[in-house]
Structure 1
Amino acid sequence: MTERRTYSYLGPAGTFTEAALDQVPEARGHDWRPVHNVGEALADVLEGRSHAAMIAIENSVEGGVSTTLDALATKPGLRIVGEYLVRVNFVLLGAPGTALDDVDVIAAHPVAYAQCHGWLGRHLPRHSHVPAASNVASALGILDGTLPAQAAIAAPGIVRHHEFAVLAEDIGDNENAVTRFVLVTRTTRPPEPTGADKTSLIVELPEDHPGALLELLEQFSTRGINLSLIESRPIGDELGRYRFVLDADGHILDERMADAVLGIRRFSPSVVFLGSYPRADRRIVQYPERYADEVFVEARDWLRGLIAGEPEA
C-alpha cells in the first residue's frame, strides 16, 4: 500500500500555487495542505508535517520572489526536487447574476491589479480599486460581501471551487507572463540526471573587492556552464553584503558542474546547494564538446598518471 503523503501549498484552493502542484503526478491522490505563506510551507517540510511544499520562486515580470529566496538561504535542510511553470492568467469574476455593466468597483491584490491595468483602462475606465490580501481573498470577498466591490481579479482556478459569473477572461496585460514554482523536500539525494537539468545554488562572496563577483562567475564560464538566473539578495548583517542566487544549466553529477561547485567552495564562506532537478521545459542542455564529461575525466586521469610517474602516451 502506498504511503499517504501531505503536500503544502499557498492556499486557499484556487491559487496559482495549487495549479503548480496539480502538475506533480506523484502528488495526486494525496493530501494537500493550504498554508498562509512560504515560511509556513517550508516549516511544514522541516518539521515533518508535509512530505514536500510547492512555492513560487521567480516571476517573468517581477523577477525573483524575495521571501522565497531569503527563506531558502536561511533554512538548512531543504532540497529542490522539481520545477513547474504556470502561466499568469487572470479572470474578472462577479457574484452569480453579475454583468460587466454592473461593475464600478473591483477588488484585487495590488500586484494582480497592476498586471491588468491596461485591460481595465480600456474596458472599465471609470472603475475604482479596493485592495485585497490575495487573489483568492478578492474573489471570496465579493461572494460573502466583506469587500465593497462588484467584481474581483483572480486566478482562473478559483472557479473550480466556487460558483462565479466569469465576466472576462485573459485580462492580464502581458500574455507571456509566467511564474516559476519549485517543489521542496527535506535534504535528499538529487534525482538522476536527465540531460535537461538545472542546478540551484546560493553563494556568498568572501569579501567586497573589485572583481569578486567576476571570480564567482568565472567558475561557470570557464567550464562552459550557462547561468539562467543571477539574483542578488542582501545578507542583512551590514550594508553592502550580498548573497547570490544562481541557476546553472546542468546537474551536480555532471563532471563540469561538480568541478565548478568545487571551485566555488574553495573561496566562498557559504555555499548552499539547493538541488539539481529536471527543467520544467525539458530542454536538453547544450554545451561545447570541449566541456563534455569525458574531457574532464580524461584530464583528471592524465594528471593522476603524471603524479604516479606513469609514462605519457
Structure 2
Amino acid sequence: MPTIAYFGPQGTFTEQAARSLARGEHLVPADTIPAAMRAVRAGAADAACVPIENSVEGPVAATLDGLAEDGPLVAVTEALLAVHFSVLTREDAGEIRTVASHPHALAQVRHWLEANLPGAEPVATASTAAAAVAVQQGQYDAAVTAPVAVEHYPLRVLATGVADVADARTRFLLLRKPGTLPEPSGHDRTSVVAAAAHSTGSLAGLLTELAVRGINLLRLDARPLKENFGYYRFFIDFEGHIAEPRVGDAVAALRRRCNNVRFLGSHPRADGAPSAVEPGTGNDDFTDAADWVDAVRRGERA
C-alpha cells in the first residue's frame, strides 16, 4: 500500500487534506513540512501532503522553501479546504487562561477569542494538533484545532465552526518525485520557481512571457535566497498545463530568460475553474503558427 507522509501530528487540517487526496492509502504524520518532503526524497514515502497557501495568512514559507531546495518534487494534485476550527479543552478545565495553537490558526480566530475568551493568553505551538496534545498534558487550558483532532485526543469541544473569516480556505498539495504528469484537464495549474537576474525589469520580463501568450497569472510569491541578501526566488503559478503548446512555449521562454528555473508541477485546480483563453492565444493558434514556420523553413510556404 502506498505511504503518504503529511505535516502532522495526527489531527491537523493537513491530515484531513491527505485523507481526501490519498483515499485508502497509508498516512504517516511527519513532525514538520520539511520532514514530510524528506521522506519522499529518501524513498520512505511515496508522496507528501503539505499546505501551500491560506486565504487569510498567505503563503506557507516552509513549503515554498522546501520546493525550491534539495531534490525536485512536483505537485500532482491539490485540495482546497474550508478552514473552520474547533476549540478543545480538558473535561476538568476551569477558567481558561491560555489558548494554544499554530500562529496561523490563532490569527484566524483572533476576533472570536477576544469576544469569547477575552482573558485568555494566546500561545503559539508547532501545529494545531501539538496544541491539543499540550492541553491534554495540562500545559495549556484550551487549543484551537482542526475538527478532526477530537477523533485523536480525548478532549471536550468547547466550540466548533470557529472562524473570523467565514470563507477562509487553505490549499494543500500532494507532492511526488518527478515522473508521469497528470493529463491536461482544461482547468489546470502550472507552477515554477525562478531566481530572476538581479537587474532592472527582470521580474517584469518573466511575467511578460506569460502575458504575450495570453496566460493568466494565478499567484506570485517571493522568497529570499538565503545565501545572497537582497536576492529573491519567485514562485509563479499560472493557468494551463505544460503539455499545452502555449504553456510549454511560455515555460521554455522563462528558461531562456532565467537558467535557474525549476518546474513544480501541472495538475487540475481544486476549484475547477477553466483556463481563460484570449483570441489568438489558444493551443491551436500556437500549433498552426509553428506548423507554418516549419513549412516556411522547408520552402513550402511564404
Q: Same fold (TM over 0.5)?
A: yes
Deviation at 1:275, TM superposition (A): 0.8
Q: Does the CA contact (< 8 Å) of 2:89 and 2:158 recur in 1?
A: yes
Name the structure 2 match of 1:118. Answer: 111
Could you tell me how far apart the structure 2 residues matched to 1:136 and 1:170 are?
16
Give the secondary-structure state (helix, strand or coil) at the position aligned to 1:118.
Answer: helix
Name the structure 1 match of 2:168. Answer: 177
Could you tell me how far apart the structure 2 residues matched to 1:44 and 1:184 are?
11
Deviation at 1:302, TM superposition (A): 1.0
Alignment of 1:171-210 (within 5 A): 171-205=162-196, 207-210=197-200
Give CA deviations for 1:189-242 in whole Å, capped at 9, x if unaligned: 21110001000001121x322211111111000000011111111122322211
2:265 aligned to 275, 300, 303, which one? Answer: 275
Moved more, 63-72 or 217-226: 63-72
Q: Does the CA contact (< 8 Å) of 1:90 and 1:170 recur in 2?
A: yes
Give the secondary-structure state (helix, strand or coil) at the position aligned to 2:148.
Answer: helix
Deviation at 1:279, TM superposition (A): 0.5
Deviation at 1:10, TM superposition (A): 1.0
Deviation at 1:35, TM superposition (A): 0.6
* Cα distance, 1:231–1:129 mapped onto 2, change above 3 Å: closer
Give the secondary-structure state (helix, strand or coil) at the position aligned to 1:22.
Answer: helix
Give the secondary-structure state (helix, strand or coil) at the position aligned to 1:289.
Answer: coil
Give the secondary-structure state (helix, strand or coil) at the position aligned to 2:221.
Answer: strand
Name the structure 1 match of 2:97. Answer: 104
Give CA deviations for 1:167-207 in whole Å, capped at 9, x if unaligned: 112222122221111000011121110001000001121x3
2:52 aligned to 50, 57, 66, which one? Answer: 57
1:69 aligns with 2:64: yes
Could you tell me how far apart the structure 2 residues matched to 1:43 and 1:150 are?
34
Give the secondary-structure state (helix, strand or coil) at the position aligned to 2:134.
Answer: helix
* Cα distance, 1:107–1:70 mapped onto 2, change above 3 Å: closer
Name the structure 2 match of 1:158. Answer: 149
Give CA deviations for 1:104-124 in whole Å, capped at 9, x if unaligned: 332333332232121111122
Give the secondary-structure state (helix, strand or coil) at the position aligned to 1:290.
Answer: coil
2:23 aligned to 28, 34, 41, which one? Answer: 28
Q: How big is the alpha-carbon RMSD for the aligned residues of Structure 1 and Structure 2?
A: 1.6
Letter in 1 for 2:60: V
Alignment of 1:1-313 (within 5 A): 4-24=1-21, 27-96=22-91, 98=93, 102-145=95-138, 147=139, 149-205=140-196, 207-312=197-302
* Cα distance, 1:130–1:225 mapped onto 2, change above 3 Å: closer
Q: Does the CA contact (< 8 Å) of 1:96 and 1:164 recur in 2?
A: yes
Could you tell me how far apart the structure 2 residues matched to 1:67 and 1:132 are?
15
Q: Does the CA contact (< 8 Å) of 1:46 and 1:186 recur in 2?
A: yes
Q: Does the CA contact (< 8 Å) of 2:215 and 2:276 recur in 1?
A: no
Deviation at 1:97, TM superposition (A): 5.4
Q: Does the CA contact (< 8 Å) of 2:12 and 2:127 recur in 1?
A: no
* Cα distance, 1:110–1:248 mapped onto 2, change above 3 Å: closer
Letter in 1 for 2:105: A
User: How many residue pairs are counted as aligned between the two chains?
Assistant: 302
* Identity %, equivalent residues: 39
Could you tell me how far apart the structure 1 residues matched to 2:49 and 2:167 are?
22
Could you tell me how far apart the structure 2 residues matched to 1:185 and 1:165 are?
37
In the alignment, structure 1 segments of 5+ residues that lack a partner are none
Q: Does the CA contact (< 8 Å) of 1:97 and 1:165 recur in 2?
A: no
Give the secondary-structure state (helix, strand or coil) at the position aligned to 2:213.
Answer: coil
